[in-house]
Amino acid sequence: MKPLKPVVSLMLAAASVALSLPAAAQFAKPEDAIRYRQSAMTLMQNHFGRVAAMAAGRVPFDAKVAADNAALAETLSKLPWSAFVEGTDKGATKAKPEIWSQEARFKEAAEKMQGEMGRLAQAARGGNLDAIKSAVGPTAASCKACHDAFWK
């Protein structure tokens, strides 16, 4: 294998540190954690939305665009959770206190959504619009269920 450029090795090292750090140490300030999870949700909504628009027939179906966007949405669906750290229930957030008082329920809803995003990504990799259509509904429902319960 060709040796990696120093900058690339550095980025990989930084990424592996970020993923293995305890959640609280990932963020210098509570606002940073809030911004991080909001950014991840915004990006996820955008990439999921592009696939949902094709499933709804609002934009022409393009199998590669659907697969790429569903894969991004699946990856993004893993990111918000480490940012729900202590002390981030107030400030510029619509997160409900139930996230922390009913942690198991929140975790279950978050994992349900990640599972549905995974199934959507799998359907999109297969390139079949009907399979994508079948997966979009349950995925959107899992977004909504969590927002209804845990979002102001």
Site for ligand ASC, rule CB under 6 A: 45, 48-49, 140, 143-144, 147
Between 26 and 134, whose beta carbon lies closer to ligand ASC?
134
- Least distance between ligand ASC and beta carbon 49 (Å): 5
Q: How far is CA 87 from the centre of its chain?
A: 21
Identify which of 85, 69, 71 has the alpha carbon closest to the alpha carbon of residue 37.
85
CA distance 120 to 134: 9
- Taking the C-alpha atoms of residue 42 and residue 62, their distance in angstroms, rounded to an integer, is 22
Q: Any idea what the Cα angle at residue 146 is, between residues 99 and 46, rounded to 5°?
A: 115
CB of 39 to ligand ASC, least distance (A): 14
Whether the CB-CB separation of 145 and 112 falls below 8 Å is answered with yes
Smaller CB distance to ligand ASC: residue 112 or 147?
A: 147
CB closer to ligand ASC out of 41 and 83: 41
Map residue 88 onto helix, strand or coil. Answer: coil
Smallest gap from Cβ 4 to ligand ASC, in A, equals 37
Shortest Cβ 135–ligand ASC spacing (Å): 13
Of 67 and 143, nearer to ligand ASC (C-beta) is 143
